Amino acid sequence: MSKHRYLPMTDQDRSDMLSAIGAASVEELFRDIPESIRYRGTLPMSGALDELSLMKHMKRLASRNADTGQYASFLGAGLYDHHVPVVINHIISRSEFYTAYTPYQPEISQGELQAIFEFQSYICELTGMKVANASMYDGATALAEAGALTAGATQRKQIVISRTVHPEAREIMRTAARGMNLTVTEIDYADGVTDLERLEAAITDDTAAVIVQSPNFFGCIEDIAAMEPLIHSRKGLLVVSTNPLSLGLLEAPGKLGADIVVGDAQPLGIHPAFGGPTCGYFAVAEPLMRRMPGRIVGQTVDRDGKRGFVLTLQAREQHIRREKATSNICSNQALLALCASVYLSTMGKEGMREISRLNLSKSHYAARELAKPEGVSLAFASPFFNEFVLKLPDKTSVTSVNERLLEAGFIGGHDLGRFYPELHHHMLVAVTEKRTKAEIDEFAVRLEELL
């Protein structure tokens, strides 16, 4: 037997496999690799540890992470430190959900299919759209898929996208566009929101879609109602990416004329988890239903008239001819979509309104307090939700400030100079319902001391 008790491979197993492929030894498997380039020493690794020592070692390494359980986080930029009700972990840890895979056999997957159906229904109600799919990998890929859909639906080659859309989502859109021979035109911003004059000038008869985000990357709320006639008058489509939590207060994009609404469901009961995984959502107006990527769960009845759920309208290449497929997205984030469904059902309409109000009011209080020191100001005057941009004194290094804030127990805001060269010395600050008045006040004091 192998001396490594956690590895199922025995010496006999190894011998049998080598015999089956006609090799005398493991060394013989690598004979095609020249001796001159083979590594013959011992890799510079630590020695073997027993189980108890290994667990202690791993815990020490993990404790070096600055997580939101130990630090008050004012970092957003796409992932947010929201409250996750304990019921969510309880539900998603049940084995029938935790171990579930693609529900190809509806007769044995009714629970999973119903959970996805509920997610779709919630997303439609939040966004004001007619149809939603079973979820996407994340909000950024959902946005790129939306751009691809509009090009196919309109048979046009230009995508117009605002610079206030998350920079990483824009990069994914550009990557997808290259493969489809699409042109991506970026529109600059004015006072933190899309410059409507430049937007109107950029739209042509070859524009498939205008893509905007609201609240946008700076936290500012875009004027979607003013954008809608600009693109629809040219027979193009309007794509809106939005934080679903903001829809507890803001008008649904579907009610403002959006054709496609996408976003990330991470604020809806999904832990930030050091960057993911998250769950994207994708909702469309009814005429675009058959062009949606991924899959849809539909409600039906069996031969006895009992309600049941099935996968339907799957326009992906595993189910239809490849040349007719709308996308090669082959899966969905069912477990994380379940998190969002449990969160929304737990909160209800009033709970969603209350959480949205808390995010709004706490962030506005923080903005007033943080902008008080000399040399610090709010970069934009546009209305915002739970994120805002602070302009720090010239020559101030946001990175250095954040390092010092970490020493004081705070995860600081995002350094906007990383994506926007014109916004050096600007910090994007996020304030969620979890931040207390005491934490906001202390953060303001510490920031002022550092500046």
Tell me the three-class secondary structure of the chain, residue by residue.
Answer: CCCCCCCCCCHHHHHHHHHHHCCCCHHHHCCCCCHHHCCCCCCCCCCCCCHHHHHHHHHHHHCCCCCCCCCEECCCCCCCCCCCCHHHHHHHCCHHHHCCCCCCCHHHCHHHHHHHHHHHHHHHHHHCCCEECCCECCHHHHHHHHHHHHHHHHCCCEEEEECCCCHHHHHHHHHHHHHCCCEEEEECEECCEECHHHHHHHCCCCEEEEEEECCCCCCECCCHHHHHHHHHCCCCEEEEECCHHHHHCCCCHHHHCCCEEEEECCCCCCCCCCCCCCCEEEEECHHHHHHCCCCEEEEEECCCCCEEEEEECCCECCCCCHHHCCECCCCCCHHHHHHHHHHHHHHHHHHHHHHHHHHHHHHHHHHHHHCCCCCCEECCCCCECCEEEEECCCCCCHHHHHHHHHHCCEECCEEHHHCCHHHCCEEEEECCCCCCHHHHHHHHHHHHHHC
pLDDT digits (tens, 9 = 90+) for 272-309: 998 889 999 999 999 999 899 988 999 999 899 999 99
pLDDT digits (tens, 9 = 90+) for 110-128: 999 999 999 999 999 999 9
Burial class (CB in 10 A: 0-12, 13-18, 19+), 400: exposed
Q: What CATH number matches the domain at 72-84+349-450, 2.30.40.10, 3.90.1150.10, 1.20.1250.20, 3.30.70.1880? A: 3.90.1150.10
CA distance 346 to 232: 37
CA distance 440 to 449: 14
Q: Which residue has the higher pLDDT, 110 or 331?
A: 110
Average pLDDT, the chain: 93
How much is the pLDDT for 435? 98
- Residue the block writes with tokens 């779709």: 120
Residue 105 reports pLDDT greater than 90: no
How much is the pLDDT for 97? 87
Tell me the pairing of strands 307-312 and 377-378.
Answer: unpaired
Residue 409 reports pLDDT greater than 50: yes
Q: In which band, very low, low, confident or very high, does the pLDDT at 101 lie, cut at 50, 70 and 90?
A: confident
Q: In which band, very low, low, confident or very high, does the pLDDT at 155 lie, cut at 50, 70 and 90?
A: very high
| % residues pLDDT > 70 (the chain) | 96
Residue 316 reports pLDDT greater than 80: no
How much is the pLDDT for 323? 66
* Cα 442–chain centre separation: 30
What ranges do the domains of the chain cover? 1-38, 72-84+349-450, 86-343
How much is the pLDDT for 102? 77
Residue 327 reports pLDDT greater than 80: no
| The CATH fold of domain 86-343 | Aspartate Aminotransferase; domain 2 (3.40.640)
* Cα 293–chain centre separation: 17
